[in-house]
């Protein structure tokens, strides 16, 4: 069985996070340059969200290094939950950024500032949006390939950052065409709401992981294998099938009902084969089967 605390993909994950941090620093510098040039509230909101991206990526790098420590006496199931804690931190930071943007936007609605160099701001943000999109898809693709929740969360956050920058472009164009400066602050408010929703969803994903919520796809895969075994007559029934995630690792436990006349050795061999089949299907996983005779009355909660 693979060590639940050691992800063989960790060196690749670490490289992706480092690339995200390095690229994020460049994007933040560019976005603050746009804000200083234009004095746009929407541009400021975009820059603040990018700062959150960098802090979140740094937290993710630390949490991933922690989650990849081998299982030990005090943590026999490994340290994979640290990934979900990192997602919670990222979600909290996103919420904080959203609230800060709302505060600044309301202030600017009450006292609109003068905006400058909107044409340059539009052009610069177009380049920034393209670079952000490339980074987001790079991180998302790596997250799917490496089966890493932290990378997937960071990639989705980066993708929302692209939408934010695109919104800034639209706002600057509208202000330039109409001369209505309040559009900039109003757009920043809308973007703040989008950011708040993103943060809330990240927190929800973290809570699901920390509370061992079952992934429907994982459960369907495991139950499909057991149904195949039951349809073939190798087991008589199944119940108490449970699947949970610990970072990229899956833990599976189940009760298998077999023919009463099977010997202990035969039922053990059958259970071991089914466990191996499930582990192979899930990838990094540990499956444990409790075997019982078919005529045994299922316990409460079956």
Tell me, what's the pLDDT at 273? 95
Do 10-210 and 216-293 share a fold?
A: no
The listed CATH number (3.40.1170.20, 3.30.70.1350, 1.10.4160.10, 3.40.920.10) that belongs to domain 216-293: 3.30.70.1350
As averages over each run of 10 residues, the pLDDT of the chain (302 residues) reads: 61 87 92 89 82 78 74 74 77 84 84 84 93 93 84 82 84 87 84 84 83 85 94 92 83 93 93 94 90 70 45
**Residue that has been written with the tokens 């909660």 in this structure:** 301
232: its two tokens:
């073939």
The rounded distance, in Å, linking the Cα atoms of 102 and 185 is: 9
CB–CB of 83/64 below 8 Å?
yes
DSSP 295: T
This prediction has a pTM of 0.66
Assigned architecture for domain 10-210: Up-down Bundle (1.20)
**Residue that has been written with the tokens 């960790």 in this structure:** 10
Distance of CA 260 to the CA centre of its chain: 45
Tell me, what's the pLDDT at 293? 92
Tell me, what's the pLDDT at 268? 94
The rounded distance, in Å, linking the Cα atoms of 123 and 194 is: 23
Tell me, what's the pLDDT at 302? 45
Of 40, 50, 54, 52, which is closest to residue 188 (Cα–Cα)? 40
Contacts 24+ apart (CB under 8 A), 259-265: 259/293, 259/294, 260/293, 260/294, 260/295
Handedness of CA 241, 246, 247, 249 (dihedral sign): negative
**Residue that has been written with the tokens 């950024």 in this structure:** 97
**Domain chopping of the chain, boundaries:** 10-210, 216-293
């Amino acid at each position: 069985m693979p060590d639940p605390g050691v992800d063989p993909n960790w060196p690749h994950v670490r490289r992706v996070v480092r690339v995200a941090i390095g690229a994020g620093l460049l994007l933040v510098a560019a976005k603050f340059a746009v804000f200083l040039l234009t004095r746009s509230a929407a541009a400021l909101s975009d820059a603040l969200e990018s700062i959150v991206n960098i802090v979140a990526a740094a937290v993710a790098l630390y949490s991933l290094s922690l989650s990849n420590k081998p299982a030990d006496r005090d943590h026999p199931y490994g340290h994979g939950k640290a990934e979900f804690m990192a997602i919670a931190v990222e979600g909290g930071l996103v919420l904080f950024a959203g609230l800060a943007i709302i505060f600044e936007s309301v202030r600017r609605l009450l006292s609109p500032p003068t905006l400058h160099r909107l044409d340059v701001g539009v052009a610069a943000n177009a380049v920034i949006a393209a670079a952000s999109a490339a980074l987001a898809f790079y991180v998302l693709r790596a997250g799917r390939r490496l089966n890493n929740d932290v990378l997937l969360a960071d990639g989705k956050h980066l993708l929302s950052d692209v939408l934010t920058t695109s919104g800034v472009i639209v706002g600057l164009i509208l202000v330039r065409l109409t001369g209505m400066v309040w559009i900039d602050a109003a757009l920043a408010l809308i973007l703040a709401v989008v950011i708040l929703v993103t943060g809330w969803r990240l927190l929800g994903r973290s809570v699901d992981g920390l509370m061992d919520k079952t992934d429907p796809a994982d459960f369907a895969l495991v139950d499909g294998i057991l149904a195949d075994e039951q349809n073939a007559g190798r087991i008589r029934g199944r119940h108490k099938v449970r699947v949970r995630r610990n970072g990229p690792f899956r833990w599976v436990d189940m009760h298998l009902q077999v023919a009463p006349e099977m010997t202990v050795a035969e039922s053990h061999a059958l259970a071991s084969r089914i466990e191996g089949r499930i582990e192979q299907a899930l990838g990094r996983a540990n499956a444990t089967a409790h075997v019982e005779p078919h005529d045994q009355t299922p316990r409460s909660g079956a």
